[in-house]
């Protein structure tokens, strides 16, 4: 049975395009009944609605793993970002016997049993964006994502250059327990945390939300008598929420308070071009083709790196943002 499964996977990848054409030619009146048996089946345990970055990433995956490309992508977004709904979807995909599972976890921990079950069923798992904790690399094929440590270190490096004498700063974080939040904190802290001239006023989650970040930072500004020079927002939406709070306090974003964000969505790059944000580090979401290549290699039995890093850019000035805006795809 295991040998048959591996053979079927390899055959479906190698000949997917030929099969798709043949099925189209043989079907009558466009009826593709039974075509799913010939396609490589991908179970996508997704996060779902969470912001512009997530929307771009998941749309890119869906646009890549199409029937025309030889795939049947089964998209299963989380219910209200609930991990249990993801584990249930993952279990269903294993029981169904899909060929590959793509996993974007809402929470980093709690995945060992599910991954072991997929491994026993000989279904490879590829992590999309978020890692798992503890990082059991023997339980998944690869993780595909930008390097959160390097991305957050780029923000910290910009902050150190911009404030050579130090600054009072506040961190607006993503949800607790998410791997990318831990990684972004680590990258920032390894650079700024060791600099005694920088004073951390605090950190609080705003759950990737503009409205929550606005509320959080309004309170921070009031409690610190507007004596905050720098904000590190771990995603664009929260950074834009901080901009709103700064403006409502009668201060000037980009001048009185500098705000740096991560993701590189169109709205954030536009805000940088307008001078409201001061630094934007891209966290490139468009890696569907990279995932496609990894899926083909895994199913063919080829070796893949345990962490495939997606290249990302940084934007450190309004001019850089203005130059980049016409070609931004998300």
Threshold 0.75, pTM exceeds: yes
| Residue 126 covered by a domain | yes
- Whether residue 8 is found in the same domain as residue 63: yes
- Whether residue 121 is found in the same domain as residue 270: no
Q: Which residue has the tokens 């199913």?
A: 299
| Residue 156 covered by a domain | yes
pLDDT digit string, tens, across residues 128-166: 999 998 888 899 999 999 999 999 999 999 999 999 999
pLDDT digit string, tens, across residues 195-211: 999 999 999 999 999 99
- Whether residue 63 is found in the same domain as residue 158: no
| Residue 47 covered by a domain | yes
DSSP 111-138: -HHHHHHHHHTT--EEEES---SS--GG
Q: Tens-of-pLDDT digits for all 330 residues of the chain?
A: 433 454 445 444 444 444 443 434 343 344 443 344 589 999 999 999 888 999 999 999 999 999 999 999 999 999 999 999 999 999 999 999 999 999 999 998 999 999 999 999 999 999 999 999 888 889 999 999 999 999 999 999 999 999 999 999 999 999 998 899 999 999 999 999 889 999 999 999 999 999 999 999 999 999 999 999 999 999 999 999 999 999 999 999 999 999 999 999 999 999 999 999 999 999 999 999 999 999 999 999 999 999 999 999 999 999 999 999 999 999
| Residue 234 covered by a domain | yes
Domain membership of residue 138 as a residue range: 2-145+285-299
**CATH number of 108's domain:** 3.40.50.2300
Helix segments in 121-265, DSSP class H: 148-162, 179-188, 210-223, 236-248
Task: Indicate the number of domains in the chain.
Answer: 2
| Residue 309 covered by a domain | no
| Residue 13 covered by a domain | yes
- Whether residue 49 is found in the same domain as residue 80: yes
Q: Which residue has the tokens 């479906």?
A: 12
Task: Report the percentage of the chain scoring pLDDT > 70.
Answer: 89
């Amino acid at each position: 049975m295991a040998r048959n499964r591996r053979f079927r996977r390899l055959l479906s990848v190698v000949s997917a395009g030929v099969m798709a054409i043949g099925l189209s030619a043989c079907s009558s009146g466009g009826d593709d009944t039974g075509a799913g048996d010939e396609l490589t089946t991908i179970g996508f345990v997704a996060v779902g609605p969470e912001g512009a970055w997530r929307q771009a990433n998941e749309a890119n995956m869906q646009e890549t793993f199409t029937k025309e490309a030889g795939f049947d992508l089964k998209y299963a977004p989380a219910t209200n970002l609930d991990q249990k709904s993801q584990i249930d979807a993952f279990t269903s995909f294993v029981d169904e016997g899909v060929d590959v599972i793509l996993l974007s976890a809402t929470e980093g921990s709690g995945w060992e049993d599910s991954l072991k079950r997929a491994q026993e069923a000989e279904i490879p798992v590829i992590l999309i964006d978020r890692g798992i904790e503890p990082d059991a690399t023997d339980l998944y094929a690869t993780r595909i994502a930008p390097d959160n440590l390097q991305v957050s270190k780029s923000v910290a490096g910009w902050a150190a250059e911009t404030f050579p004498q130090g600054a009072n700063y506040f961190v607006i974080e993503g949800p607790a327990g998410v791997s990318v939040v831990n990684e972004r904190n680590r990258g920032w802290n390894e650079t700024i945390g060791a600099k005694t001239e920088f004073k951390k006023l605090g950190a609080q989650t705003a759950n990737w939300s503009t409205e929550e970040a606005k509320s959080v930072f309004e309170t921070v500004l009031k409690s610190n008598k507007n004596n905050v020079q720098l904000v590190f927002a771990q995603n664009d939406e929260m950074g834009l929420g901080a901009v709103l709070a700064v403006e409502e306090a009668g201060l000037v974003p980009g001048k009185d308070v500098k705000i740096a964000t991560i993701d590189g969505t169109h709205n954030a790059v536009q805000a940088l071009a307008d001078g409201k944000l001061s630094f934007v580090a891209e966290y490139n979401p468009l890696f569907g083709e990279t995932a496609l290549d990894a899926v083909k290699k895994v199913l063919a039995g080829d070796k893949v790196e345990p962490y495939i890093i997606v290249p990302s850019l940084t934007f450190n000035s309004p001019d850089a943002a203005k130059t980049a805006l016409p070609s931004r795809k998300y």
